[in-house]
Amino acid sequence: MQIRSITIEADDGHSEVEIMRIEGGALVTQGDRVICEVRESEHREDRFAKAMEVAKLVYGTDRKGRVNATNSMVHEVFNEIDRVAGC
């Protein structure tokens, strides 16, 4: 089974973050804005850094601009991106 896309409600409650399967990876968008593109061939650390940026949209940020989520919550976003990307 291969998942083609996942939609996650963003922190603001009005917009959605969508993770879509593309050739060789996944494309993460919010509305008509492209957040990042994740390739199957990227290193794990690079994919995790991108997942951290997506988690900021999903969970929001604190006053210092850091993601307002625990490490395990960021890993959930990372795992979903990897699942759609086929990593």
Higher-pLDDT residue of 2 and 68 is: 68
pLDDT at residue 70 above 90? Answer: yes
Average pLDDT over residues 35-60: 94
Q: Measuring CA to CA, how many Å separate 64 from each of 11, 67, 68?
A: 17, 9, 10
pLDDT tens for 50-65 read: 999 999 999 999 999 9
Residue recorded with tokens 């940020």: 61
Answer positive or negative: Cα dihedral of 10, 16, 21, 24: negative
